[in-house]
Amino acid sequence: MRYASNLTDAEWALIVPFMPAPARLGRPRSVSLRVIVEAILYILSTGCQWRQLPREFAPFTTVQAYFYRFSRDGTLVRINQALVAQARELAGRTASPTAGVIDSQSVKTTEAGGPRGFDAGKKIKGRKRHIVTDTLGNLVGLVIHPANVQDRDGAPGVLKSIRKKYPLLRHVFADGGYAGPKLQGRLEKIGKWTIQIVKRSDTAEGFELLPRRWAEAAKVPPA
């Protein structure tokens, strides 16, 4: 059966160079790596539980094992980096960004495992997705932590995680939650960063990634 999350041949061609080579010893693979990746994408796009994965993919335990493996060994990060570089070059930009946007989103969770906390401002008990994108909106960094972690407290960890992957990215646009000397002082310990605070729209509700027009207006080198 064909699912909306399935890869086209062109998309798979971009991913296959990052897939692990067959093991020299032991049994040959019984499941195609393309099927594994498509199963992971199905889980991500539908939000279904592992056990509810349609049988035409592969046993959910097999898919789950590959997902954890790709997460631990950096495969997913390398794929994302390559896709970000290609997307930027297609847009006429340099492969590595020089400016980015940082923001966070608190989400409810009922899972017993993993980090959890209470975001008093948004009245949400769960986790916070703390992300950095380039000025085109491509994801370049992500850290998950308890929802009670304030934006200015979580920002250093997110930016530190991308420092080596994107060495030219040092100018970051952020909303008022990141304002103040406390954050700037902590950032000085992990490199030379500049934080430019921009105002959200008056009609914004909940999560709103800052618009790219702020980056276009900034007096920084082209991202």
pLDDT by residue (tens digit) across 165-202?
A: 999 999 999 988 888 888 888 888 888 898 998 876 66
Cβ atoms of residues 135 and 101 within 8 Å: yes
The yes or no reply on domain 95-217 and CATH 3.40.50 is no
Residue 122 in this model has a pLDDT that exceeds 70: no
Cβ atoms of residues 179 and 197 within 8 Å: yes
As a whole number of Å, the end-to-end CA separation of the chain is 41
Tell me the pLDDT band of 118, cut-offs 50, 70 and 90: low
Position 179 scores a pLDDT of 87
What is the number of other CB atoms lying within 10 angstroms of the CB of residue 223?
A: 22
Cβ atoms of residues 38 and 79 within 8 Å: no
Here the tokens at position 138 are 């491509």
Cβ atoms of residues 207 and 103 within 8 Å: yes
Q: pTM for this structure?
A: 0.80
Tell me the pLDDT band of 208, cut-offs 50, 70 and 90: low
Residue 21 in this model has a pLDDT that exceeds 80: yes
Average pLDDT of the residues in 99-111: 83
Distance CA 173, CA 179 (A): 11
What percent of the chain shows pLDDT beyond 90? 54
Which residue intervals of the chain bear CATH 3.30.420? 95-217
pLDDT in tens, 146-170: 888 888 888 999 999 999 999 999 9
Identify the CA nearest to 97 among candidates 146, 145, 162: 162
